Structures are given as structure tokens and as C-alpha cells.
Amino acid sequence: MKQTDTGYARWPTSAALLLLGAFCCAPAFAQNGNGAPVSVDEVREQQVYRVIPLTGTVTAARSARLSAATSGLVTTLLVDAGSQVSQEEVLLTLDRELAERQLQSASAVLEQRSTALADAQRRLGEARVLEKQRNIAETLIRGLVAEVAEAQATVREARAEANYQRGILERHTLKAPFAGVISAKLTELGEWVSPGEPVLELVALDNVRLDFKVSEDYLADLHKGAAVSFTLNSD
């Protein structure tokens, strides 16, 4: 997975400002002597929300244009513009079939060589027992020691190859480097992507600034701490 930090970035946004009212009324009835029932109002206090739709821009202090670390065909795309994601969440995957086969092959070689090493170590251990009883030639011992050393070297080589192939396979998965929202989707299922080619844009929401104009009709109703919800547009 690759990413390119772009510093401060701005996106169009749609915001909804929630303003609170104070009271509302509910009807009640009372009996006045022998006359007809009289309707009165019982005043109860409760919060009344008014939604004001606005448009403006959001400025993010942290953003990134994400790209794949290897070439491949997009086979899974799990997000769209506007999707909120958590850190390390899988965003898309490339075709993994060839990479999986190469890892399986490398793992099989590692298992085979590990078995050979265990066998060589077993035979050397048995020879050491016979050596104490002076029932085995010294040259045979030296040969087994060399065989174990060679087997250990081949195991290290096979393990390094398996780890390399595992790393190649992991490069076929693109994860979110930090939590935020997808501000733009730049690829689709079935498209071929290359390293360094941006496929998604991600913006962090932990430090953003919203800029929008409010009509004078609503200025008197604004107060510090008013709730604001917003969505990013991908335009």
C-alpha cells in the first residue's frame, strides 16, 4: 500500500445546522361548574429541532491520495465516495491468484527443507551417542555436522523466500492508513492499476474546518455548541 500526503485540502460539503427551540403546547380539558367543557392549553417545555441545510467547504489538515503497491486487476472494491473507514480497514484488493500460488510453492519448499533439517539433526544426535561409545568414525560425525549446517542454510533461504512471497501477497490489499472518510473514488472493479497511480482519496475527520454562509435570518438563532452534521461531495 502506498499513500501520498497532500497537506491541507478542501472539498465541497453539504452541512445541516440544528437549531433548538424551547417550548411547545399540548391541549387539555377542564370542567367549569355545570357548563360545557372548556378547552385550555397545558404548557410543557421540550426541545424543538429546526434543520437548516447549507453548502460550503471543508478544509482537512490531513489527507492522502492512496495507491496500490503493486500492479494488478481490481477484484474487490469495498468503499465509495463518502464511506467512513477506520484505520487498517481493507479498502480494495487486487487479483491475488498468482501471488497466492507463489506463496504456497515457497511455503511447501520451506516445509520440505525443514523436514530435511530435522532428519539431519536427528541422525547427528544419534551419532553423538555412538561417538561416546566409540562405535562410530570421527569422519562420519564431521560429515553429519556439515550436513546439518547445509540444511540450516537451505531452511534460512527458503524462509526468506516465503516471507518475500508473503509480502508480495500483502501488497495486493490496500488498507486505510488512518481513520477518515473517502472523499473520491478514482478506480472501479475490473480496472488495471499500477504502483503510484491514485485509486482513492482519504481525508481525516479528527481536525477539519467547515466554512459556509448562513442567512441573516438565522444569525440570531446561532449559539456556541450548536450541532452540525455534514457530508462530503465527490465532485
Beginning with the edge strand found earlier in the chain, give each strand of the sheet holding 173-175 in spatial order. 173-175, 90-94, 72-77, 192-193
Q: What is the pLDDT of residue 139?
A: 87
Instruction: Pick out the chain residues at pLDDT < 50.
Output: 1, 3-7, 20-26, 29
Q: What is the CATH number of the domain that holds 202?
A: 2.40.50.100
Q: What is the CA radius of gyration of the chain?
A: 34
82 shares a domain with 6: yes
* pLDDT at 15 (0 to 100): 54
Question: How far apart, in whole angstroms, are the C-alpha atoms of residue 199 and residue 112?
Answer: 40
Domain that holds residue 182: 2-27+44-95+172-232
Same domain, residue pair 222 and 164:
no
Number of domains composing the chain: 2
**Within a domain: residue 213?**
yes
The string over 76-101, giving b where at least 16 C-beta atoms fall within 10 Å of a residue's C-beta and e elsewhere, is ebebebebebeeeeebbbbebeebee
Pick the last residue of a domain from 168, 187, 207. Answer: 168
What is the C-alpha separation between 213 and 58, in angstroms, rounded?
12
Single residue among 147, 168, 189 that ends a domain in this structure: 168
DSSP 162: H
In a domain, 185, yes or no: yes
What CATH number did the domain enclosing 163 receive?
1.10.287
Q: What distance lies between CA 124 and its chain's CA centroid?
A: 50
CA-to-CA separations, 39 to 25, 44, 53, in angstroms, rounded: 13, 16, 38
- Same-domain status, 73 and 135: no
Q: Clarify whether residues 130 and 185 are in a common domain.
A: no
pLDDT of residue 18: 54
Say what the pTM is: 0.65
Interacting residues of 168 by C-beta distance below 8 A, sequence separation 6+: 70, 99, 102, 103
204 in a structural domain: yes
End-to-end CA distance of the chain: 25
Interatomic CA distance for residues 78 and 95, integer angstroms:
14
Say if residues 134 and 64 touch (Cβ distance below 8 Å).
no
pLDDT digits (tens, 9 = 90+) for 15-53: 555 554 444 444 554 555 555 565 656 666 666 666 777
- For residue 19, being part of any structural domain is answered with yes
Q: What is the pLDDT of residue 59?
A: 79
Q: For residue 36, what pLDDT is reported?
A: 59
- Write the CA distances from 164 to 72, 156, 229, integer angstroms: 18, 12, 45
- Which residues have a Cβ under 8 Å from the Cβ of 150 and sit 6 or more positions away? none
- CA dist., res. 29 & res. 128, Å (int): 105
Q: Which three cell numbers stand for residue 152?
A: 540450516
Q: Chain centroid to CA 189: how far?
A: 18
Q: Are 120 and 194 contained in the same domain?
A: no
- Residues 181, 144, single domain; the answer is no
